[in-house]
């Protein structure tokens, strides 16, 4: 198990609140690491995270948090609240896994560390008599439909002053933005026929999918450098001697610019429309809600970098940079000052969504990160809770 003293535990001049946070993280170290390991050993896909959601809610409930579940119409989402008054600080937990590779994005670490940050801060506030509200949100399906999107639309962040999360990576850093993404589902309806005896009587829906990918590949030559377009074929027919009467693909379109992203989506849809016209198939297209880019708050990120330095885990300053991935945390950042901090759990070059990263997500280094991230996020929140001027500076930077 991770040693909670393995990193410099306190800032050079800790306040009583910060000292209490450190002590609470030490006290919580065993259950937090156990939570991370249990979630890792029981991977659940988006909207199926019943075990992970229940485990997170239960440790919060046992520490005097009031639990509301489900929320925003999501079975595996919850809101945990403890404390009173403003400011209100939210820590956002993720716990969904990936198909085939389990927790190869380290969401078990995100869940345990954000739950830990909320627990440590709430318990420390209670001990020191500081008034504030601590919220921990369980947010499902980050990898698929984006559970945070309906939570934002339900108004859950209207009375939140600042939101924190983290993400395991192959480096430690804070700051920067991300790519927005919109996912398209393209279904083509053709006509079945014997592929050898009477192929002329069929309409090949799979051909329409393949032509769509060919057109998208040509489009990639003429887009901005930040753009990513990628997809999979989810249905390509049932037998080689039957002309496929149905085929389907899913394509993700990404850009850091929301306006450009909308224009790109239309171009990809035109690729599909042209393929349908050429093949004679009928196109049925649908779109998921877009993940927004992270709205960078450089003042908040600067505070986090300061805390990381003070606590002996300095991070790279990525303010102004763009991380080429997408998250529904971006939608939260559009309505409230927010930051998602990176913590190193894997050697450089070990990539997300790979089995090697799944292994790294339950390593001794990952266990240490659960505790380090909990401490960093809680201390950063504490400095805002106790410094109204600094909190206002963060709010102003997000307007």
Going 139 to 142 to 145 to 148, the CA torsion angle's sign is: positive
Tokens 């102004």 belong to which residue? 320
The structure tokens listed for 389 are 């001027």
Provide the pLDDT for residue 4.
44
Using the 8-state DSSP alphabet, how is residue 222 labeled? G
Query: Using N-to-C axis directions, what is the helix angle for 364-385 and 298-310, rounded to 10°?
Result: 120
Gap between the Cα atoms of 392 and 206, Å rounded: 56
Residue 261 has pLDDT above 70, yes or no: yes
Q: What domains, with CATH codes, occur in the chain?
A: 16-178+293-397 (3.40.630.10), 180-287 (3.30.70.360)
Q: Kindly state the average pLDDT of the residues 364-379.
A: 98
The structure tokens listed for 51 are 């075990």
Provide the pLDDT for residue 100.
96
Q: Kindly state the average pLDDT of the residues 205-226.
A: 97
Residue 176: strand, helix, or coil? coil
Gap between the Cα atoms of 316 and 308, Å rounded: 10
Report residue 3's pLDDT band, with 50, 70 and 90 as the boundaries.
low
Gap between the Cα atoms of 203 and 191, Å rounded: 5
Q: Kindly state the average pLDDT of the residues 259-273.
A: 97
139: enclosing H helix or E strand: strand 133-139
| Mean per-residue pLDDT over the chain, rounded | 96
Gap between the Cα atoms of 276 and 272, Å rounded: 6
Going 89 to 340 to 386 to 60, the CA torsion angle's sign is: positive
Percent of the chain scored above 90 by pLDDT?
A: 95
Gap between the Cα atoms of 14 and 48, Å rounded: 41
Q: Please tell me the least confidently modeled range out of 1-10, 244-253, 358-367, 374-383.
A: 1-10
pTM: 0.93
Beta-strand pair 88-94/78-83: unpaired
Tens digit of each residue's pLDDT (9 = 90 or more) over 293-347: 999 999 999 999 999 999 999 999 999 999 999 999 999 999 999 999 999 999 9
CA 227 → CA 112, 182, 266, 272, 331, distances in Å?
32, 12, 14, 19, 19
Residue 6 has pLDDT above 90, yes or no: no
Residue 7 has pLDDT above 90, yes or no: no
State residue 174 phi and psi, 5-degree precision: -145, 150
Residue in 79, 77, 186, 85 with CA at minimum distance from that of residue 132: 85
Gap between the Cα atoms of 168 and 32, Å rounded: 16
Contact 52, 126 (CB under 8 A): no
Provide the pLDDT for residue 5.
47
Check whether the bond before 70 is cis (ω within 30° of 0): yes
Residue 12 has pLDDT above 80, yes or no: no
CA 237 → CA 51, 148, 208, 271, 284, distances in Å?
35, 35, 12, 21, 17
Tens digit of each residue's pLDDT (9 = 90 or more) over 102-132: 999 999 999 999 999 999 999 999 999 999 9
Provide the pLDDT for residue 398.
78
Tens digit of each residue's pLDDT (9 = 90 or more) over 149-199: 999 999 999 999 999 999 999 999 999 999 999 999 999 999 999 999 999
Q: Kindly state the average pLDDT of the residues 46-72.
A: 98
Residue 397 half-sphere exposure, CB side, CA atoms within 13 Å? 21
Tokens 């046992």 belong to which residue? 62
Provide the pLDDT for residue 28.
98
Task: Give the number of other CB atoms < 10 A from CB of residue 351.
Answer: 10
Contact 175, 157 (CB under 8 A): no
Report residue 10's pLDDT band, with 50, 70 and 90 as the boundaries.
confident
Provide the pLDDT for residue 1.
47
345 exposure class (CB count in 10 Å sphere: 0-12, 13-18, 19+): buried
Beta-strand pair 246-255/228-235: antiparallel
Tokens 């991380």 belong to which residue? 323
């Amino acid at each position: 198990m991770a040693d909670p003293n393995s990193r410099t535990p306190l800032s050079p001049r800790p306040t009583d609140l910060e000292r209490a946070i450190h002590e609470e993280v030490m006290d919580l170290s065993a259950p937090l690491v156990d939570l991370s390991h249990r979630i890792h050993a029981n991977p659940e896909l988006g909207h199926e995270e019943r075990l992970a959601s229940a485990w997170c809610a239960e440790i919060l409930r046992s520490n005097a948090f009031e639990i509301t579940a489900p929320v925003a119409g999501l079975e595996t989402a919850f809101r945990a609240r403890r404390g009173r008054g403003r400011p209100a600080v939210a820590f956002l937990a993720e716990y969904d896994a990936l198909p085939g590779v389990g927790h190869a994005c380290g969401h078990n670490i995100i869940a345990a560390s954000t739950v830990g940050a909320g627990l440590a801060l709430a318990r420390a506030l209670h001990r020191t008599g500081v008034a504030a509200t601590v919220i921990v949100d369980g947010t499902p399906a980050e990898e698929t439909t984006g559970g945070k999107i309906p939570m934002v639309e339900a108004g859950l962040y209207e009375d939140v002053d600042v939101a924190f999360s983290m993400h395991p990576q192959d480096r430690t850093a804070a700051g920067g933005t991300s790519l927005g993404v919109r996912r398209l589902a393209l279904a083509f309806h053709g006509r079945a026929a014997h592929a050898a005896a009477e192929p002329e009587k069929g309409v090949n829906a799979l051909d329409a999918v393949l032509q769509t990918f060919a057109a998208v590949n040509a489009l990639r030559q003429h887009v901005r450098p930040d753009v990513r377009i990628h997809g999979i074929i989810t249905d390509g027919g049932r037998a080689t001697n039957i002309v496929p009467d149905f085929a389907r693909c899913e394509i993700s379109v990404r850009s850091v610019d929301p306006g450009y992203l909308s224009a790109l989506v239309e171009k990809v849809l035109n690729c599909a429309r042209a393929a349908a016209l050429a093949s004679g198939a009928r196109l049925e297209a649908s779109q998921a809600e877009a993940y927004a880019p992270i709205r960078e708050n450089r003042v908040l990120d600067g505070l986090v970098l300061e805390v990381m330095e003070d606590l002996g885990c300095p991070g790279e300053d990525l303010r102004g940079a763009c991380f080429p991935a997408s998250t529904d945390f971006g939608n939260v950042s559009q309505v409230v000052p927010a930051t998602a901090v990176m913590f190193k759990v894997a050697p450089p070059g070990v990539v997300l969504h790979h089995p090697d990263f799944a292994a790294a997500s339950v390593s001794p280094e990952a266990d240490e990160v659960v505790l380090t991230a909990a401490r960093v996020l809680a201390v950063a929140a504490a400095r805002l809770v106790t410094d109204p001027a600094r909190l206002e500076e963060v709010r102003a930077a997000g307007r």
